[in-house]
Structure 1
Amino acid sequence: MDKISNMYNFDDPPPEKLSLELFKIEKKIGKGQFSEVFRAECTWVELHVALKKIQVFEMVDQKARQDCLKEIDLLKQLNHVNVIRYYASFIDNNQLNIVLELAEAGDMSRMIKSPERIQESGYNFKSDLWSTGCLLYEMAALQSPFYGDKMNLYSLCKKIENCEYPPLPADIYSTQLRDLVSRCILPEASKRPETNEVLEVAEHMNNHFSPPDEQSPVPSTPQF
């Protein structure tokens, strides 16, 4: 874990090394298998943030630890008005702490929760791929795949568990997009694609619609 250093890039950095003592925890706003997210206030500057605490040393899976490092590297590279901003990461109290921009409007609704999260049978990165598929569907169709008028929580959960949703129209959307969405929104987590597969498909689709000078190199053709 020595690759995770005490770093920060706040506009107005704290006067000392980052630690949990510099944050005033207000309330819990999210929870995962190995992590919890809190609304917190920075004590040295007038700023509220989302503080994500990850029990990284409790992860017996080495790949899960590496995924945490990759998450930080990815967040540090992102800089867009529509993407949650990364502020800092540090180790304290035997936890990996990630400081992020706070989304004041709250998080997404229950419609992107995977079947395993609804059944409370565990959570891993394949659950995030389910959510990615739901978001891609909603960006294309302008509504959740599991949306329904006058639908209560019970019926919503049943639709998600049974994976009941109308497919994206073939006469409007490409085969690549429809296949990617359908593979991400599978009830069995083990059958969903790996993250690198999703990235390859996304790069191929981006290159298809981008000018030649803006295209990124793609190592191989994705398999469907």
Structure 2
Amino acid sequence: MDNYDVIKVIGEGAFGKAFLANGKADGKYCVIKEIDFVKPNQEKEASKKEVILLARMKHPNIVTFFSSFQENNRLFIVMEYCDGGDLMRRIRRQRGVLFSEDQILSWFVQISLGLKYIHDRKILHRDIKAQNIFLSKNGMVAKLGDFGIARVLNNSMELARTCVGTPYYISPEICQNKPYNNKTDIWSLGCVLYELCALKHPFEGNNLHQLVLKICQAHFAPIPTTFSHDLQALIPQLFEVSPRDRPSINSILKSPFLENLIAKYLTPEVSLEMIPCGFWQRFWLAGP
């Protein structure tokens, strides 16, 4: 930690603390996650896995990994600092005032592009929630973060079996202890989109049993009718109880009302990523 000036603690969870810091060499802000290896082996392995995954992630809508190092039986992960905080805090700041549909779709498309990037690499996030989506550049850029419980699949049809995630965002298949695949991330993505529209969780209960029942029945109130028909129609698709009936992230991004927005976020790097998938090649201007 000698290369950084620690400014303050900005988070604390099961895996350790997160600090806002300043690099002494470049003077730039960064976030440093500290994981104590004295804790159980399971956490140690999850932390190492996160480092390996983060080091491979290169996408404008995924929190950038800078480096990692070990000191005194602790692992430190140095990451990009997103000055807009997380999406959950941004939602709370609204105090009941709805976001514009343009703002919602801007964030949603960016989150979806980040999710496409990891799904194309056979990775499940498994903990998509407003708290794990970070904002930067005056809240205009949305980035997917916290890959602590992500899992790489051997192939796209392999099903994971571990029950993980945050209760408000977990899918029916996880509630029912069934195998699941990347469609569980789609359900969680639906929860985030619903929250952006309604400023509250789609599924709530007085206890865990009640919450699980609502999730398994996909019982949720419609979003406000001030939003477009396209947006109102998308949410039930993401909340299909059967994973097979839920769209893939590629299908979601091909929705006509979203497709037109995607060009705004296609940096050359993202465009190159999309080309092999045959994805909207008309958005890519021919280079040399």
In the superposition, the TM-score normalised over structure 1's length comes to: 0.53
CA distance in 1, matches of 2:250, 2:61: 22
Please list every run of 5 or more consecutive structure 1 residues that lacks an aligned counterpart in the other structure.
1-19, 115-123, 149-156, 184-197, 216-224
Aligned residues: 160
Which residue matches 1:219?
Answer: none
Please name the residue that 1:222 is paired with: none
Q: Name the amino acid aligned to 2:233.
A: I
Deviations 1:55-104 (A, max 9, x none): 1341233xx43332222222122222222110001111211100000111
For residue 165 of structure 2, the aligned residue among 111, 116, 127 is 127
* C-alpha contact (below 8 Å) 2:21/2:29 kept by paired residues: yes
**Paired amino acid for 1:106:** G
- In 2, are the aligned partners of 1:138 and 1:145 still within 8 Å (CA)? no
CA distance in 2, matches of 1:174, 1:24: 44
One-letter amino acid matched to 1:127: G
Q: Tell me, what secondary structure is at the counterpart of 1:109?
A: helix
Pick aligned residue for 2:74 from 95, 114, 129? 95
CA contact (8 A) 2:195 2:201 kept: no
TM-score between the two structures when normalised by the length of structure 2: 0.43
Q: Pairwise CA RMSD of aligned residues?
A: 4.4
Distance in 2 of aligned mates of 1:201 and 1:52:
38
- Rounded to whole Å, the distance in 2 between the matches of 1:113 and 1:207 is 21
User: Aligned pair 1:177/2:238, yes or no?
Assistant: yes
CA 1:212–1:201: 2 relative to 1, 3 Å: farther
Give the residue type in structure 2 aligned to 1:30.
G
Sequence identity, in percent? Answer: 20
8 Å CA contact 2:191–2:201 kept in 1: the answer is no
Structure 2: gaps (5+ residues): 93-128, 132-147, 150-163, 171-184, 224-231, 255-273, 279-288
**Are the aligned partners of 1:28 and 1:36 in contact in 2 as well (CA < 8 Å)?**
yes
1:7 matched residue in structure 2: none
Residue 138 of structure 1 and its aligned partner are, at CA, apart by 2.7
The answer for the alignment partner of 2:277 in structure 1 is 214
1:146 matched to which residue of 2? 200
Describe the shift of the 1:91–1:167 C-alpha distance in structure 2 as closer, same or farther (beyond 3 A).
Answer: farther
- How far apart in 1 are the matches of 2:249 and 2:37? 34
Task: Write out aligned runs for 1:1-224 (5 A).
Answer: 20-61=1-42, 64-109=43-88, 125=149, 126-127=164-165, 130=169, 134-139=188-193, 142-143=196-197, 146=200, 163=211, 166=220, 172-173=233-234, 177-179=238-240, 205-206=248-249, 208=251, 214=277
